[in-house]
Amino acid sequence: MNERVKTTLWLIGYTFLAGLMLAIFSMLTEIYKYLFSLLALYIGIRFFRRFESLGLRIAFFVLAVFFYLVITVVVQAVIYLRDNPPPAAL
């Protein structure tokens, strides 16, 4: 596999996991929500150890925030549709 493709797949994987951990952190209210923030931090540390270029690090932050926002919007839309079902069609 091409090295650039492999790096891109690693970047997407790490950023999706970090965004998911941040989304879970923002949705929980119990004390164990801080476990997810620590997991997001750990994922970031692992990424920064693996890839040292500045461009990949900036892309990590941008994509992690993007995935955080997308996951949060999708989960909230599902919760809204679950709690407020659409009216029956005539």
How high is the pLDDT of residue 74? 96
Residues 82 and 33 sit within 8 Å (Cβ to Cβ): no
Number of domains in the chain: 1
Give domain status of residue 8, yes or no. Answer: yes
Overall pTM surpassing 0.85 (yes/no): yes
Residues 64 and 22 sit within 8 Å (Cβ to Cβ): yes
Residue numbers of the domain that contains 14: 3-83
Give domain status of residue 88, yes or no. Answer: no
Share of the chain above pLDDT 70, in %: 98
Q: What is the pLDDT of residues 68-85, one digit of tens each?
A: 999 999 999 999 999 988
Q: What is the pLDDT of residues 36-46, one digit of tens each?
A: 999 999 999 99
Using DSSP, state whether 32 is helix, strand or coil: coil
